[in-house]
Amino acid sequence: MTRLLLLAWLVIAAPAMAQPTKATADIITRVTHGYASSNGVRIHYAALGDARKPLMVMIHGFPDFWYTWRHQMAALSGDYYTVAIDQRGYNLSDKPDGVANYAMPLLVNDVVAVIKSLGREKAIVVGHDWGGAVAWSVAMAQPEVVEQLIILNLPHLRALRRELVNNPQQAANSQYARNFQQANAAQALTAEGLAGWVTDTSARARYVTAFKQSSMEGMLNYYKANYPREPYTLDTTPLVKVKAPVLMIHGLTDRYLLAAGLNGTWEFVDNSVTIVTVPNAGHFVQHEATDIVTRTMRMWLRR
How big is the chain by its Cα radius of gyration, in Å?
18
Which position among 44, 128, 283, 287 bears the catalytic label?
A: 283
Helix, strand or coil, per DSSP, at residue 34: strand
Q: What Å distances lie between residue 283 and 62, 112, 120, 197, CA to CA?
A: 11, 26, 31, 10
**Is 261 within 8 Å of 267 (Cβ atoms)?**
no
**Is 129 known to be catalytic?**
yes
DSSP 275: E
Q: Which amino acid is at 65?
A: F
Which position among 129, 156, 222, 250 bears the catalytic label?
A: 129
Strands of the sheet with 123-128, listed across from one edge: 5-9, 273-278, 246-251, 146-152, 123-128, 55-59, 81-85, 41-48, 32-38
**Is 223 known to be catalytic?**
yes
**Residue 82: which of 144, 22, 34 has the closest Cα?**
34
* Apex 217 CA angle, 212 and 222, nearest 5: 115
DSSP 242: B
**Residue 149: which of 17, 56, 30, 260 has the closest Cα?**
56
- Please state, in angstroms and rounded to a whole number, the distance separating the CA atoms of residues 59 and 134: 8
Which position among 67, 80, 81, 223 bears the catalytic label?
A: 223
**Is 110 known to be catalytic?**
no
Residues designated as active site: 129, 223, 283
